[in-house]
Amino acid sequence: MAELYYDDDADLSVIAGRKVAIIGYGSQGHAHALNLRDSGVDVRVGLREGSASRAKAEEQGLRVVTPTEAAAEADVIMILAPDQVQRHLYRDEIAPNLTEGKAIVFAHGFNIRFGYITAPDGVDVFMVAPKGPGHIVRREYEAGRGVPVLVAVEKDASGNAWQLALSYAKAIGGLRAGGIKTTFTEETETDLFGEQAVLCGGASQLVQYGFEVLTEAGYQPEIAYFEVLHELKLIVDLMIEGGIAKQRWSVSDTAEYGDYVSGPRVIDPHVKENMQGVLADIRSGAFAERFIADQDAGAPEFLALRAKGEQHPIEGVGRELRKMFSWIKPADSDYTEGHV
């Protein structure tokens, strides 16, 4: 069984007694900075001079300095810039200010797990990773609730790193829902696997194939869109509420029987072998290497794949059809910014 932590297991005064830097003000950055501030923690946000996020952070009452200044002032430095940017930021702006007794914090273990960042001796390294996009982390905190967090300590140089990690997790509201103890290795490998095999990669490919099979067989694209994309959310919501069992209970017996006989026919054991191959590439570092090499070259593969994805016919059909849904407000587009 996993080890769980709640508000009573943490002391808010530990993080409230430190100076915290939040580097980056995107999905996670804004939520961590505002929640910490509202929990009484001394926070500054580190952003580049020309960053568009500067005005937003200042408007919300936060003090904004450069990442270098933030790292120099603070003794707890949370890096919430994109994963592929973190090691440059670390080398140029954080490492020169990472003196003994300070702590460096992550919301995803990528750079530590694959060796792109190695903290010096005498520095605590830990992770507080909310299991939800930043705007939900902020929204739930304001509502008096919280989003569950993963907590891990990679290096406990001070002997106090767990106390500090749990205190940070409490201050962003995470321990109201619960914290789960993990390691950088487990969090990184399972997070990458989940998004590649099931949540992003698996689900996107499944939807595209479903759309292609129906439209190639002559059915109207609008009808195909409804059946293979739009209704996916309704099914996933049922799974979140009560597992796969509740989803099966809620749908018709016809749908449930079709699930049993056709699911394993579509997603056959070969797919499981493919997933094992994906996991092997994550664990060996091959995926990380490919991603970082492409990013360092200006992301030609990444941008070409993004452009190709946007050309899929399901996107154009969806753009038109979504105008029919008055309740899908522009604000919902925030969800698309969330990384998993």
- Binding interface with ligand NAD (CB under 6 A): 23-29, 47-48, 51, 53, 67, 80-83, 85, 89, 107-108, 129-130, 133-134, 338-339
Rounded Cα distance between 328 and 251, Å, is: 23
List Cα–Cα distances, 108 to 26, 185, 206, in angstroms: 14, 10, 27
Question: Does 124 contact Mg ion by CB under 5 A?
Answer: no
Query: Cβ closer to Mg ion: 267 or 340?
Result: 340
Rg of the chain's alpha carbons, rounded to an integer? 22
Identity of residue 64:
V
Q: Are 103 and 161 in contact (CB under 8 A)?
A: yes
Does the annotation flag 134 for ligand binding? Answer: yes
CB of 108 vs Mg ion, minimal distance in Å? 6
Does the annotation flag 13 for ligand binding? Answer: no
CB of 29 vs ligand NAD, minimal distance in Å? 5
Does the annotation flag 48 for ligand binding? Answer: yes
* Residue 26 interacts with which of ligand NAD, Mg ion, none, CB < 5 to 8 Å by class: ligand NAD
Does the annotation flag 195 for ligand binding? Answer: yes
* Residue 148 interacts with which of ligand NAD, Mg ion, none, CB < 5 to 8 Å by class: none
Rounded Cα distance between 183 and 162, Å, is: 12
Does the annotation flag 191 for ligand binding? Answer: yes
First to last CA, the chain: 24
Query: Cβ closer to ligand NAD: 227 or 334?
Result: 334
Angle, alpha carbons 327-330-335 (nearest 5°): 95
State both tokens at 240.
Answer: 């979140």
Choice among 108, 135, 312, 339 that is catalytic: 108
- Look up 135 and say whether it is catalytic: no
Question: Does 191 contact Mg ion by CB under 5 A?
Answer: yes
CB of 61 vs ligand NAD, minimal distance in Å? 17
Q: Can you say whether the dihedral through the CA atoms of 191, 192, 193, 198 is positive or negative?
A: positive
Q: Are 29 and 22 in contact (CB under 8 A)?
A: yes
Largest CA distance in the chain: 66
Q: Which residue is listed with tokens 């959310």? A: 233
Query: Cβ closer to ligand NAD: 33 or 228?
Result: 33
Among 244, 266, 267, 340, binds Mg ion (CB under 5 A): 340
* Residue 77 interacts with which of ligand NAD, Mg ion, none, CB < 5 to 8 Å by class: none
Residue (of 257, 255, 259, 237) closest to 246 by Cα position: 237
Query: Cβ closer to ligand NAD: 26 or 194?
Result: 26
Rounded Cα distance between 288 and 286, Å, is: 6
Binding residues for NADP(+): 25-28, 48, 51, 53, 134
Q: Which residues bind Mg ion (CB under 5 A)?
A: 191, 249, 340
Catalytic residues: 108
Binding residues for substrate: 252
